[in-house]
Structure 1
């Protein structure tokens, strides 16, 4: 299944409705494929959607899969994806099951992977570059995880230094501990920078993991953030 078509230029009046139909057909085909792969009937899928608080009747699912449904609300895509144990974006751009897609009506088809990167904001050409807030949140996630990992490695190396059998082993372990501690400090600094940027840009930083309590005086009470 593919959303691709021959691009005929901006003067093609049929381009937009055809593109809409292609997007809906791609989602419908992937819903059907995943449903069958999971051994679910249309009724099973309808029941799973209802369990998630957003009922989608069996006949609506059947009409969607057969192309008889005229609309496909975003909320349906979200719930269907969860019921099918996948991500909403993989219903739109089914990697490995769709070759090329049109991201917009008046654009040429591109690979499903490139379309997915565009949708998530990871494509380098998006609006001349990645959105600064999105970049800051990605940096926050990366540096928070890296700081915690380096701190754990430093603690382990200190334990190895305390329990070393020889002066040489103790010295090597202490060097490792110092290295990991410096790495943790570097990532904590970068984490502070990311949080400061998010605030300066009018946003609210994500909650900090309890392991990192104290690095940001402006933060609310830290909570689990995995």
Structure 2
């Protein structure tokens, strides 16, 4: 099957979509391997250590473009072995300028393709599921934890202040950070409830924030029978 191409694209620059994705992975595997100063044999040994053997000759065939297929499980293990993520092999942002999202699609910036693939930027006709909610949840958790830490530092500074002015400034910072954490906490609770409304399960909260949304301790009556 031959893909369509635009008039300003040379035929040699427009390989089959499958070949393009395989080339992305192959070139990034090779780049990462050489960056780590590993031989193909060392990479094969690491894959085996991770529980999914990929022989040296298979890795060599992948890098040279002779391998006919590329299972997803291989991409996952190769990424782990090379201390990166699978998405970085499939869409090597910064190393491959443009790629395709699907067959017959025009070339787009690799960054854009990666964001749509991960759901960070949904397409007009696609549903990102709960990924945006989980991203927002993670961001709020980080900001709340940071605000609480700063409030704790300000509290210590207020207690150990050398002058009334220093104490007043520390108390002001403490109140400011406490107010920020309270506002973000309300947003976090809203996000968690939104996830539940969609039929999902919110992420576990870190120990420092566990009290803001304790698990439901109601025991099913059948458990007591």
- Give the TM-score range, shorter chain: 0.7 to 0.9
Distance 1:29-1:132 versus aligned 2 partners, 3 A rule: closer
Residue 158 (structure 1) aligns with: 155
Residue 104 (structure 1) aligns with: 102
Q: Match of 2:130, SS?
A: helix
Residue 21 (structure 1) aligns with: 19
Q: Match of 2:211, SS?
A: coil
Residue 86 (structure 2) aligns with: 88
The alignment status of 1:180 with 2:193, answered yes or no, reads: no
Alignment of 1:1-16 (within 5 A): 7-8=5-6
| 1:128 Cα offset (Å) | 5.3
* Unpaired segments ≥5 residues, structure 2: 8-13, 218-225
User: 8 Å contact 1:140–1:195 — kept in the other structure?
Assistant: yes
User: 8 Å contact 2:46–2:81 — kept in the other structure?
Assistant: yes
Residue 77 (structure 1) aligns with: 75
| 1:174 Cα offset (Å) | 0.8
- Cα distance in 1, alignment partners of residues 85 and 155 from structure 2: 41
Work out which of the residue numbers 122, 127, 134 in structure 1 matches 2:131.
134
- Cα distance in 1, alignment partners of residues 197 and 94 from structure 2: 40
* Unpaired segments ≥5 residues, structure 1: 10-15, 221-226
Higher relative contact order (CA 8 A, sep 6+): 1
User: 8 Å contact 2:154–2:173 — kept in the other structure?
Assistant: yes
The alignment status of 1:60 with 2:58, answered yes or no, reads: yes
User: 8 Å contact 1:122–1:130 — kept in the other structure?
Assistant: no
Work out which of the residue numbers 113, 116, 131 in structure 2 matches 1:115.
113
| 1:6 Cα offset (Å) | 7.0
- Cα distance in 2, alignment partners of residues 52 and 65 from structure 1: 20
- Cα distance in 1, alignment partners of residues 106 and 144 from structure 2: 42
Aligned residues: 209
User: 8 Å contact 1:207–1:219 — kept in the other structure?
Assistant: no
| 1:7 Cα offset (Å) | 2.1
